[in-house]
Amino acid sequence: MSKEETRQALLLIGFTNDEINRMAVRFKKLLNLTPNTIELKFNELLAQGLNTELAHNFLVYTPSIFGMGIDNIRQKFNILRDIFQERCTEVIGVNPMRLVQGPGTTAARYEYFINQNLTIDEIERNLFITRPQFKKRYKIDL
């Protein structure tokens, strides 16, 4: 496996050389991944309900998704689907970095919000804030 083979795999999926270069700056290990890994991660986003354009945009914006395990990606989508149902893709689409938050953190915060009787809109606005912001706002470390 070479970096050039990985670059070719990314080009075949539809990324431009400029996008690949930007992604490689944001996620240093990108070009060290195998072409098979690249394809598997892209296809997993499609399997989770994203269309090709949205999966492409997610990966350009958040290339670290390429470094996540398939089970981890599935867990993240499953918990977000449990919370936001049919709006899951829309909620993630606002900021693909939301997929970086661990499923345990998401679950713990969601449970906390439910116990506090927050509305789904309030949950959406506050579920993905940074840990220091969350601690300051809610006086709890989740």
Structure-block tokens of residue 78: 């499953």
**Is 122 a member of any domain?**
no
**Is 51 a member of any domain?**
yes
C-alpha 49/C-alpha 90 separation (Å) is 11
**Is 106 a member of any domain?**
no
pLDDT band at 48 (very low <50, low <70, confident <90, very high): very high
Task: Report pLDDT digits (tens) over 113-127.
Answer: 999 999 999 999 999
**Is 110 a member of any domain?**
no
Measured CA distances, 54 to 13, 57, 85, 86, 96 (Å): 13, 5, 18, 16, 10
**Contact status, residue 76 vs residue 99, Cβ threshold 8 Å:** yes
How many domains is the chain partitioned into structurally?
Answer: 1
Task: Report pLDDT digits (tens) over 91-100.
Answer: 988 888 898 9
**Is 49 a member of any domain?**
yes
**Is 115 a member of any domain?**
no
**Is 125 a member of any domain?**
no
pLDDT of residue 93: 87
